[in-house]
Each structure stands twice: as structure tokens, then as C-alpha cells.
Amino acid sequence: EIVLTQSPGTLSLSPGERATLSCRASQSVGSSYLAWFQQKPGQAPRLLMYGASNRATGIPDRFSGSGSGTDFTLTISRLEPEDFAVYYCQQYGGSPQTFGQGTKLEIK
Amino acid sequence: QVQLVESGGGVVQPGKSLRLSCAASGFSFSTYAIHWVRQAPGKGLEWVAVVWHDGSNRYYADSVKGRFTISRDNSKNTLYLQMNSLRVEDTAVYYCARDNFWNGYGYFDYWGQGTLVTVSS
């Protein structure tokens, strides 16, 4: 199975700053079948990005995704207070689908 | 709007069984594959199982294979997860999630709010 490794484990930033989250796959994720989710405490995950760089419905354009093959990045251009949460990447190009272990984005 | 509502969670002893349900509304249920994903307390997300749009194919994580059965009733717009021989390590919030494709090879575009299963003696 494809193992996804996210870094850093925790990212401490202030509102207004830029956040860069990384997701690295143990083997190539075919056709950029890579998604990003945001999860806040007590809530279900919410789809942010799919196909590595496509924003899901209703996701603000301060969120962007990039990458291909084994290296992917989620960027939040200017952090808003509601962006502090845990972020997971997921690959759906291989079976079984797998998730990264998550990056916690916390307020500095 | 798309809604997925899980139910059936609770406290159960090791070795016992439990059946979860996921009631869907707001979309053509029979068109999409649906997954179960779980999250142990304080941990990350783990994919559990998927069933194709018509129920013709089902796939499982190795950790639950042989113990869990995923099924669906398209006439009732409902997904199920029959969990047998439960273990302490199955304790988690269980989410149902819609796949954007019919065969389970898409991304998870909608999630339910989850139902907590606690396996404890």
C-alpha cells in the first residue's frame, strides 16, 4: 500500500501568515489522485482539494494545492482564524486508499 | 443538500457484534460508491471498507477483513456496516463518506458526522 508521510507534524503560525504543508508518498500517486481534508475538533473531515490542485466546492481561493508523483503541497496564502485545524492528505490512486498521519496547524 | 447520517454506535464488549447504519439523502444514492472510514480517539483517519454503487463489489482493510461486512440497500438509501468479533482496537468514530465515483476509486466529497463505537469490557 502507498504510505503517505505529512510534515511537519505541528505547524505554529499567526493569522495572516502563509502556511505550507507537505505530503510525501512512498510511491507515485497515479494521475495526481491526491486529496486534502481539513478537520476541526469534534467535526467530520471536510474536502478541501482533489486531483492535487482542484479546490472543492465552496473552498476559498486562499487554499491551493500543487505537486505530482510523490510530492504534494497544500498552501494557505493568508491564514484566517478558522483555518487552524488538522489537515490530512489522502491518495485514491492506489488500493487501498490511504491517509497521511495529519498536520496540526495551531495558533502561535 | 447532500446528507449522510450515521447511527448505531455504542458501547459493546470484546467479541460481540454491532451494526452501523448510514442514511443518505439529497442525492442519487444508487449512483455512488460509499466508504466507511474510522478514527480512533486522538488518532488519524483509517479507511475501513467500500461498496460499489450497486453493491456488486466490496473491499476491506486488512484490519477488518473477515470480521466486518459492508452492504447497502439502495431502495432505502442506506449503507450498513456489520461488525463482528469486535476488538478493543476497533474503538473509534466511524464515518460514512461518499465517493465521487461509482466504483470507489474517486475522492471522498461528503462525510457524515460520525458515530462512536467503544469496545470495552
Q: What digits encode the pLDDT tens for the residues A25-67? A: 999 997 789 999 999 999 999 999 999 999 999 999 999 999 9
Distance from chain centroid for Cα A79: 14
Tell me which residue in A44, A50, A97 faces B47 most closely, judged by beta carbons.
A97
Chains A, B: CB contacts within 8 A come to 51
DSSP-derived secondary structure letter, A96? S
| Alpha-carbon torsion (A20, A21, A24, A28), positive or negative | negative
Grid cell 488538522 is found at A86
CB contact under 8 A, B108 and A47: yes
Closest-CA distance of chain A to residue B23, Å: 16
Q: Average pLDDT over chain B, rounded to whole?
A: 97
pLDDT of residue B104: 84
Name every chain B residue with its beta carbon within 8 A of the beta carbon of A98: 47
C-alpha B62/C-alpha B65 separation (Å) is: 5
Mutate to test the interface with A, among B99, B107, B109, B116 (most CBs of A within 10 A): B107
pLDDT of residue A84: 97
Question: In sequence order, what are the residues at sequence separation of 6 or more whose Cβ sits closer than 8 angstroms to the Cβ of residue B47?
Answer: A96, A97, A98, A99, B35, B36, B37, B61
